[in-house]
Structure 1
Amino acid sequence: MHALVTPGGPLIFAFHGTGGDEHQFAPLVRRLWPGAGLVAPRGAVSEHGMNRYFRRTGEGVYDMEDLARRTEEMIAFIRGHLVAGTPAFAFGYSNGANILAAVSFAAPGLFERIALLHPLIPWTPAPQPGLAGRQVLLTGGRNDPITPPGHTEALAGWYRAQGAQAELVLHEGGHELREGEIAALARHFDTTTQGAEP
């Protein structure tokens, strides 16, 4: 785990993709929010030597029991690292976006704003009224072979149906992160803005 808390700045939680680690997004956080604190947990599951946050049996086929258990563990971890009086934001990429989404389904009040970069949630979550008014950014690629854009659009629609303010940003590429997404992420965590309208 990478953890650095800076007095007076926001606290950013960053969740890596499959095969990443707690250092994957540290340079990005320092570049976008130089005064922010950073909490970056490493996924506790190893898939052929690659770090992940929960088990799966195939691409887009999740071990739902393991996901439920890991989600509760992550919620407890997050609660243990929040700082009273400090705004907390979170973003995740790919597998990191999936665990962050699962956390938001179960505990919607942990973060002021979240960003899901290339998430894949292959089921319809149960209704979550606690998401009403929450600001959520979702990004993806229109030619993403791992996360079909239809899934991302459906997830954005689900968040909107819960009353969240969900912004959807898609680029013409695949599963890679592009600068347009990074710019959208920076805007999303800018506390001087009010966020996107649903």
Structure 2
Amino acid sequence: MSDLYETVVIPGRADDPRTLLMLHGTGGDAESFAGLARVLSPGTHAIAFQGDVLENGMPRFFRRLREGVYDMDDLARATGKLENAVAEALAGAGRDPAQAILVGFSNGANLIASLLLAEPKAVPRAVLMHPLIPFEIKAEVPLGADVLVTAGRRDPIVPWPMIVRLVEDLRQAGASVDLYDRDGGHEVSEAEIAAIRDWLRRRPLVDRPSGQVVNS
């Protein structure tokens, strides 16, 4: 639970130490993304955040001046707020920060990417669905995150060359990045959901008592 954002929480199984932290896109909400968490990884504890900014009545996480042009001051505000909200939500639920996986679509993915660059330790793993990063990636320290980027090659909002550049830049900054792409637009397809589900399933878990790595 977080006092910084409205949240929807889905308790997970006792034997699954992972936590999905879900950030919706513009026009979505915490409830819908909590539902997505159930599909992506049944039995995993999930916390879905509700965006605190309205654009034409639709919730999002930070302001923009127009499509693809962000209010960078508000992005900085939102990045700091998300860092605090993630830490607060995990601590409040007694969850291990090392087992956190941040999942975002569009606007939510953009904010997760911003947090990854500002505070890499806050984002050990991330799923960035159709992210649009129109600014230069400058990592202050090497990124150690495990990242999945999903995108449509014909996305009218996110040009494909920007996805290619994002993946390359994240890799050069030290992140381990997988890319799932399809011949589609900004919508999320069933095949994309299946690819994310498989990626999550294949991520190893850290067995804290023994220090061994086990598969999920």
TM-score (norm 1): 0.91
Query: Which of residues 95, 101, 105 is equivalent to 2:107?
Result: 95
Query: Which of residues 128, 132, 139 is equivalent to 1:120?
Result: 132
* Corresponding residue for residue 17 of structure 1: 25
Distance 1:131 1:188 in 2: 19
* Corresponding residue for residue 172 of structure 2: 161
What's the CA shift string for 1:145-186, capped at 9, x where partnerless? Answer: 100111111111111001111111111111011122212211
TM-score (norm 2): 0.84
Distance 1:55 1:158, change over 3 A: same
Q: Which runs of 5+ in 2 are unaligned?
A: 1-6, 206-216
Is 83-92 or 178-187 further displaced after alignment?
83-92
RMSD (Å), alpha carbons: 1.7
Distance 2:132 2:78 in 1: 17
Measured after TM superposition, the shift of residue 192 of structure 1 is 5.0
Measured after TM superposition, the shift of residue 193 of structure 1 is 5.3
Query: Which of residues 168, 182, 185 is equivalent to 1:174?
Result: 185
Pair member with larger Rg: 2
What's the CA shift string for 1:58-110, capped at 9, x where partnerless? Answer: 00010000100111011000011123446211110011111111111111122
The count of aligned residue pairs is 193
Q: Which runs of 5+ in 1 are unaligned?
A: none
Is 83-92 or 109-118 further displaced after alignment?
83-92
Distance 1:109 1:172 in 2: 33
What's the CA shift string for 1:20-39, capped at 9, x where partnerless? Answer: 11012222221232211111
* Corresponding residue for residue 2 of structure 1: 8
The one-letter amino acid paired with 1:3 is: V
Query: Which of residues 61, 70, 77 is equivalent to 1:62?
Result: 70
The one-letter amino acid paired with 1:68 is: A
3-state SS in 2 of match to 1:8? coil
Query: Which of residues 55, 61, 66 is equivalent to 1:47?
Result: 55
Measured after TM superposition, the shift of residue 15 of structure 1 is 0.6
The one-letter amino acid paired with 1:168 is: L
Give yes or no for contact 2:100–2:123 (8 Å, CA) kept in 1: yes
Give yes or no for contact 1:43–1:51 (8 Å, CA) kept in 2: yes
Distance 1:130 1:163, change over 3 A: closer
Give yes or no for contact 2:20–2:101 (8 Å, CA) kept in 1: yes
Give yes or no for contact 1:13–1:38 (8 Å, CA) kept in 2: yes
Distance 1:192 1:96 in 2: 22
Quick check: 1:143 aligned with 2:143?
no
Quick check: 1:187 aligned with 2:195?
no
Give yes or no for contact 1:128–1:162 (8 Å, CA) kept in 2: no
Give yes or no for contact 1:11–1:38 (8 Å, CA) kept in 2: yes
* Corresponding residue for residue 116 of structure 2: 104
Distance 2:186 2:55 in 1: 19
